[in-house]
Amino acid sequence: MRAIGSSIPRVDAWKKVTGEALYPGDIEMPGMLHMKVLFAHRPHARIVHIDTSKAEAADGVVAVFTAKDVPVNEYGLLIRDQPVLCGPGSDKEGADIVRFVGDQVALVVAETAEQAQAALDLIDVTYEDLPVVSSVEEALAPDAPRVHAHRENNVLQAYRIRRGDIEEGFAQADVIVEETFRTGFQEHAYLQPEAGVAYVDEEGRVVVITAGQWTHEDREQIAHALGLPEDRVVVRYAAIGGAFGGREDMSVQIILALAAWHLHKRGIDRPVKIVWTREESIIGHHKRHAMVARARWGARRDGTLVAVQVDLTLDAGAYAYTSTKVLGNATLACVGPYEVPNVWVDTRAVYTNNLPSGAFRGFGGPQGHFVAENMMNRLAEALNMDPVELRMRNVLREGSLLPTQAPVPPGCTMPQVLERLALEAGWTWDAERGWQAPPPPEPTPPAPRPGLAALEATSPRRLRGRGLAIAYKNVGFSYGFVDECHATVELHGGAEIERVVVRHAGADVGQGAHTVMAQFAAEALDVPLERITLIVSHTAETDNSGSSSASRMTFMAGNAIKRAAEEALRLWREEEARPAVAHYRYIPRPTTPYDPETGRADPNITYGYVGQVAEVEVDPETGHVYLTRVITVDDVGRAVNPQQVEGQIEGAIAQAFGWTVMEDFQVEGGRVLTDRLSTYLIPTVQDVPEEMRSIIMEFPDPQGPYGARGMGEMPFIPLPPAIIAAVRQATGVWFNEIPLTPERVWRALQEKGTE
């Protein structure tokens, strides 16, 4: 293949490195106004009164908007449980209640951003504080205050899986391990904070230029809140500086449209722009779900898993966002990529007055696999069995049944990934002893890297360890959600194809999706890449493509573009159509939701399979954990662009290391204590591993375009439990909670030393 499988430079690379590419915050338009948002900065309160008169009279102020100005004051990707603006005067019941510090209360539009910011301070809001639900334990208490008063309790969603006889399973177990795990929130920390511009065009349509992950869903939510038909709203994306799931839900889209629409009705046809600060971004968009889980796993002496029981709770925060779907993934993932005859899983997502939680790379997979892989490593130790050997005896294979009692979709390569990972990391296998790990890394004296000499410890030695974990992750929307992806391909020219126009709504959020789209078209049509023109991420020009999430865009867009291109080529050749235009709507095989009693389901279209080995150094004097080496084996089905695949793997490693070791998102009583990047630390180039080996396996997925699977989320998922296992080997201490901050590690080592 010429286009597929080649590390073709990204189609947007030149514009981005030269600064020609415009991100939403870069856009300037004639006569542009500027908008600022008044956030509640209260975790739970009733707004009794708002007085905006002083703000309206302030210098440069053009308009102030509150809840009474929102035609349909509700929104939400899956459940419309959040007001656009909180306050009295809205028809929406409960809209006068703020439920987290980032709820939006008022908008100020002014000639300059500075004038809009100054006017915010002149808005007088009278609050009546309400009881704060600050943890999942508080939310589940029988007498807990309700975050949403109309609900019977704070449980947003609950799932269960029942397979086999759990008591009989534990009766068969020779070894039983029980643990409780906790993971924290995580901030997306994308390069470009939320921003955008909105105006009303000459056709009377509200146009919103922003950055997101799903143009058509943005349009639907904007139109609903404004009470407009969808064809009166246009959403298009500028360059997007990262997303990771953080742009799946609304931030500035609706309020921009609201301001532009109201100004238009007042005869003021001027664009409106907003740019959030980093602090506003951190409190204004959702986070990765914090989790608490209790797990009990049992195995026979030969390593066969016989019983898995997990009780898992996610902190949904103040509103639903995508919590129900994230919970669905965690429910399956907490059993891991293993076939187990007896399974008993109870999960729930609960409302609190913390920041809402939602989509974040891995989408429930990291939390679920954190439980599963930590339990497998503990079982291996309790059984005195090699962790690869234990996994190989239980891992999902072609034809295996999932915990939901559906067969794993064709193309399961978890055993092949595990075997390759073990061999690459130095494991050996023989018929008598099975898999055997290489010797633990030897302790080494500290060797500070350039630029860190003043920060790194001077302890007499560092402790070294190695750990392993594996994972699988769904590709595409799940649990009965209908997935679809549209593409249109136009062929122009005379005797030969001179120009190809591909129309596709999919967002390129930094992962290179648009480059891959061009590669699919070039391959299917056998034309040079330079003849491909993309029209993308524009609701007036393209049909719905679904979200750039769920590791689905390569899989879904590839299938849609490939088939549209093949049909256009047929028209070109057989009917001599000039131009030849073909549209294709790709719908993958259907999935089914969990049965409410048994959890039976055919949950996902297909899966990607990944494994990682992590090597760490731990400074016993300070508790610092250094990730020195990561080996990743990832079956991507077909590497459409190998360089981009490696980039996704390396980016996932950095992000997963941050969640596991550095990123300590602090919330106290619903108030965020780490609302800036000086207090919420994310990895820099000095923190990433010195060696990252990316082994790309290509076992074609039967459903994938040219065999390709999705893979953008997969390399995040197994790294956290692999690091935990490596720290255990280095220090002799198991950790059940992340992040592994220096203080947490140091205190655990001190306690171990006093035993």
In order, the DSSP letters of 551-595 are T-HHHHHHHHHHHHHHHHHHHHHHS--SSEEEEEEE------PPP
pLDDT in tens, 75-129: 999 999 999 999 999 988 999 999 999 999 999 999 999 999 999 999 999 999 9
| Stretch 256-274: mean pLDDT | 98
Q: What angle do CA 20, 22, 24 make, to 5 degrees?
A: 170
Bridge-based pairing of strands 104-110 and 155-163 is: unpaired
Q: If you ran DSSP here, which 8-state letter would residue 210 be given?
A: E
- Please check whether residue 613 is in contact with residue 722, taking contact to mean a CB–CB distance below 8 angstroms: yes
Question: First-to-last CA distance in the chain?
Answer: 62
Count of residues for the chain? 755
Tokens representing 11 are 């189609």
Please give the Cα distance from 45 to 101 (Å, whole number).
Answer: 10
- Please check whether residue 99 is in contact with residue 316, taking contact to mean a CB–CB distance below 8 angstroms: no
| Stretch 482-490: mean pLDDT | 97
Number of Cβ within 10 Å of residue 292's Cβ equals 18
460 band by pLDDT with thresholds 50, 70 and 90: low
459 band by pLDDT with thresholds 50, 70 and 90: low
Higher-confidence position of 454 and 436: 436
Tokens representing 596 are 């409410």
pLDDT in tens, 196-226: 999 999 999 999 999 999 999 999 999 999 9
pLDDT in tens, 10-25: 999 999 999 999 999 9
- The runs of H, that is alpha helices, within 108-165 are 113-120, 136-140
Number of Cβ within 10 Å of residue 57's Cβ equals 11
Q: How far is CA 623 from CA 440, 681, 740, in A?
A: 20, 16, 9
The predicted structure's pLDDT at residue 2 = 85
pLDDT in tens, 128-162: 999 999 999 999 999 999 999 999 999 999 999 99
**Residue-range domains of the chain with CATH:** 31-130 (3.90.1170.50), 291-477+596-753 (3.30.365.10), 479-586 (3.30.365.10)
pLDDT in tens, 658-702: 999 999 999 999 999 999 999 999 999 999 998 999 999 999 999
Among 133, 56, 108, 241, smallest CA distance to 669 is for: 133
- Residue 489 has φ and ψ, to the nearest 5°, of -125, 130
Instruction: Produce one character per residue of 616-627: b if its CB has 16 or more CB atoms within 10 Å, e if not.
Output: bbbbbbbbbbbb
pLDDT in tens, 580-628: 999 999 999 999 999 999 999 999 999 999 999 999 999 999 999 999 9
Find the largest Cα–Cα distance for the chain.
85
Q: If you ran DSSP here, which 8-state letter would residue 713 be given?
A: S
Number of Cβ within 10 Å of residue 755's Cβ equals 4
- Please check whether residue 38 is in contact with residue 114, taking contact to mean a CB–CB distance below 8 angstroms: no
Instruction: Give the whole-number percent of the chain exceeding pLDDT 90.
Output: 95
The predicted structure's pLDDT at residue 126 = 98
- Please check whether residue 372 is in contact with residue 403, taking contact to mean a CB–CB distance below 8 angstroms: no
Strand order in the sheet with 155-163: 155-163, 343-351, 305-317, 291-299, 175-183
Among 498, 518, 527, 299, smallest CA distance to 391 is for: 299
Complete DSSP assignment for 449-474: PTT-TTTS---S-BEEEEEEEEEEEE
593-598 LR contacts (CB < 8 Å, sep 24+): 593/479, 593/480, 594/159, 594/160, 594/161, 594/328, 594/331, 594/404, 594/479, 596/160, 597/160, 597/162, 598/160, 598/161, 598/162, 598/163, 598/405
Please give the Cα distance from 659 to 533 (Å, whole number).
Answer: 38
The predicted structure's pLDDT at residue 197 = 98
The predicted structure's pLDDT at residue 87 = 98
- Residue 257 has φ and ψ, to the nearest 5°, of -60, -40
Give every CB contact of residue 98 below 8 A, 6+ residues apart in sequence: 40, 42, 43, 44, 45, 46, 47, 86, 105, 127
Among 35, 171, 37, smallest CA distance to 110 is for: 35
| Stretch 557-582: mean pLDDT | 97
The partner residues of 233 in beta bridges, in order of sequence, read 206
449, pLDDT greater than 80? no
457, pLDDT greater than 60? no
Which region holds residue 103: left if phi is over 0, alpha if psi is between -120 and 50, else beta? Answer: beta
Please give the Cα distance from 245 to 249 (Å, whole number).
Answer: 8
| Cis before 739 (ω within 30) | yes
What is the three-class DSSP state of 668? strand
Helix (H) or strand (E) holding 487: strand 485-493
The predicted structure's pLDDT at residue 755 = 58
Helix axes 414-424, 387-394, angle to 10 degrees: 170
The predicted structure's pLDDT at residue 231 = 97
Tokens representing 731 are 């220090």
- Please check whether residue 66 is in contact with residue 89, taking contact to mean a CB–CB distance below 8 angstroms: yes
414, pLDDT greater than 60? yes
The predicted structure's pLDDT at residue 451 = 54
Tokens representing 246 are 């953080």
What is the three-class DSSP state of 642? helix
The predicted structure's pLDDT at residue 442 = 83
Question: Exposed/middle/buried for 647, CB within 10 Å: 0-12, 13-18, 19+?
Answer: middle
- Please check whether residue 586 is in contact with residue 546, taking contact to mean a CB–CB distance below 8 angstroms: no
